[in-house]
Amino acid sequence: MTELSDLNLLEAAQALRSGMTTSQELTETCLARIEACDDAVQAFLALTPDLAMQQAKSADERILSWRKKSDEPLPLVCGIPLAVKDVLCLQDVPTTCGSRILEGFRPPYTATSVQRLIQAGSVILGKTNTDEFAMGSSTENSAYGPTHNPWKLERVPGGSSGGSAAAVAARMCFAALGTDTGGSVRQPASFCGVSGLKTSYGRVSRYGLIAYGSSLDTVGCLARNAADLQPIFTIMAGHDPLDSTCLVDPVPQVSLDQIELRGLRIGVPREYFIEGMQTEVETSVREAVGVYESLGAVVSEISLPHTDLAVPVYYLIAPAEASANLARFDGIRFGPRIEGADLLAEYLDTRGTLFGSEVKRRIMLGTYALSAGYYDAYYGQAQKVRTLIKADFEEAFQKVDLIACPVAPTTAFPIGQHGDDPLAMYLEDVFTLPANLAGVPGLSFPVGYDSDGLPIGMQLIAPHLAEASLLQATHAYQSTTAWHKEQPSL
């Protein structure tokens, strides 16, 4: 059965259409693969085998009737088993955000992005592990234990969508949904050697995404390559009347081969090559840029001068928003409650006990940044500097079509390495945060391996709503290279 799980999403879709396999068979294959590998990887927090088999059965019926009478278009994702990051609501299925404060919570509704994929016939295998409330870059902050990198189990898979990245890398699913608030799709994709798309802010509905930093949160997806990402993205994207920040702009249906690399202007920001970064990361990224150059792209060095301010800006804005977003977790309407002498005690104990230490740290930080007397100096100033960071990108995109840069300063680090030094951990996010602050899309994909055999990722960043360019440019790279075809021996 391993042959089936080795297929990528488009190959699997083709096999379904041709009748070579069925969705039920694909689903069983994935469930078997999860059974075999997930004790070691710990990518999933909850499995939904019954739901998945039921969805697979209806998908098979749909495919069968399509084959008889193929005038109705069949979505490419129909019958394809997927995994969903556990910050996206799926009705009646445990949704925890990797937190004890949501233990046992079964949402009464489904997130729009997930709903659209289900409607298109996708099969949902389960919910994947995440740093608690998506706060983290290693998936070590999950209350349910860390996820292990399929390439080297004692390494982190990155985060916060570490469970999704690991599940895709370990071929437990054909693609997975993640979310990216400060790099949470791109960095784990990079650490796990898969392709991960962070969509433009406003492109995919956030309805049903349990909010962390509302002005930064985006729903994204992870798969084995850019061509596999495209059908997921096009199904999820587009206006949703339930999200006031979801744009009405149409989602272009483009062919991935339709890109003219000759003359494509790619900028490489000098601020993204910093002291202390792993040499192999810089080498691989520069080599990948070289590939584009050899394909006819015009590469130039550019400057995004406010890059080094992204960390302090992000770590004031995101926690500030989080401090309000996480106020609803009070043990009154959902989640466990720590009973106490009175209402105040119940608030304090429920939240104090059931939130993990990183979540509490960020709530404290955000509460402080918004509090009387400090708003202007912290939150207010951060919002203004955010304007400058956004302007950096606007200016850069006057000169170039895409920006190419590293995703993280290093490859996957050992579990436990950052221990109790939050600032050091935050500084690791320096290359991914700016795209979130500017709201622009980014795509991370493997461009090499370090001496430990760990994947190295590069990200392309495009102007707002230009996901198609990212998918096309990545696909062009993946058509001439084979890094994305490497698999961990698991």
Partner 1 sequence: MSDFQTVIGLEVHAEFSTQSKMFCGCPVVDSTEAAPNSAVCEICTGMPGTLPVLNARAVEFAIRVALALDCEIANTSVFARKNYFYPDLPKGFQISQYSLPLAEHGHLTIETPDGEKDIRIRRVHLEEDTGRLLHRDGFSLIDFNRSGVPLLEIVSEPDIHSVEEVRAYATGLRSILRYLDVCSGDMEKGAIRFEANVSVRPLGSPQLGTRTEIKNLNSFRSMVRAVSHEVKRQTQLLCEGKEISQETLGWDVARGVTVSQRSKEEAHDYRYFPEPDLPPLYVDDTWIESIRESLPELPLARQKRLIVEHDLPPYQAGILTSEKEIADFFDAAVETGLAPPIKLAHWITGDLFSLLNQENIDLQQSKITPVALAELVSIVERGEINLTSGKTVLAEVFFTGRDPSKIIAKFSLDQVSDVEEIARLVSEVLNANPEQVSAYLAGKQPLFQWFFGQVMAAAKGRANPQILQEQLAAAFQQYQQSSAEE
Partner 2 sequence: MGLSIEEVRHIADLARLRLTSDEERRYTEQLSAILEYAARLKAVDTSHIPPTATVLPLRAPLRPDVPRPSTPREHILSNAPQEKEGMFRVPPVLDTTS
Amino acid type, 342: D
Site string for partner 1, 375-404 (x = CB under 8 A): x---x-------------------------
Q: Pairing state of beta strands 442-449 and 402-406?
A: unpaired
Active site annotation includes 122 = no
| Binding flag, residue 28, partner 1 (CB under 8 A) | no
Site string for partner 2, 326-345 (x = CB under 8 A): -x--xxxxxxxx--x-xxx-
Q: In terms of Cα–Cα distance, which of 222, 121, 131 is closest to 177?
A: 222
Return the range that interacts with partner 2 (CB under 8 A); candidates 52-60, 155-163, 290-298, 360-368. Answer: 360-368
- Identify the residue among 380, 414, 416, 453 touching partner 2 (CB under 8 A): 380
Q: Is 150 helix (H, G, I), strand (E, B) or coil?
A: coil
Cβ pair 356, 363 in contact under 8 A: no
- Identify the residue among 127, 386, 418, 484 touching partner 2 (CB under 8 A): 386
DSSP H/E element including 16 = helix 9-18
Active site annotation includes 160 = yes
**CA distance readout (Å), 22 to 114, 168, 271, 360:** 22, 20, 49, 46
The CB density around residue 381, as the number of other CB atoms within 10 Å, is: 15
Strand arrangement, sheet containing 442-449: 44-47, 123-128, 81-85, 175-179, 219-223, 195-198, 442-449, 455-461, 402-406, 265-269, 298-302
Measured CA to CA, the distance from residue 317 to residue 161 in angstroms comes to 20
Amino acid type, 490: L
| Binding flag, residue 347, partner 1 (CB under 8 A) | yes
Q: Quickly list H helices, 309-444.
A: 310-325, 343-354, 357-370, 381-399, 422-427, 433-438
Which one of partner 1, partner 2, none is in contact with 89 (Cβ closer than 5 to 8 A by kind)? partner 1
Residue 439 vs 488, nearer CB to partner 2: 439
Among the listed residues 5, 85, 205, 444, the single catalytic one is 85
Q: How far is the CB of 367 from partner 2 (least distance, A)?
A: 4
Residues near partner 1 (CB under 8 A): 88-89, 95, 97, 102, 105, 107-109, 111, 206-211, 213-215, 241-245, 320-321, 323-324, 326-330, 332-334, 343, 347, 367, 370-372, 375, 379
Residues near partner 2 (CB under 8 A): 104-106, 108-109, 201-202, 215, 241, 244-245, 247, 309, 311-313, 315-316, 323, 327, 330-337, 340, 342-344, 346-349, 351-353, 355, 357, 360-361, 363-365, 367-368, 371, 377-378, 380-388, 390, 420, 422-423, 426, 437-439, 464
Catalytic annotation, residues: 85, 160, 184
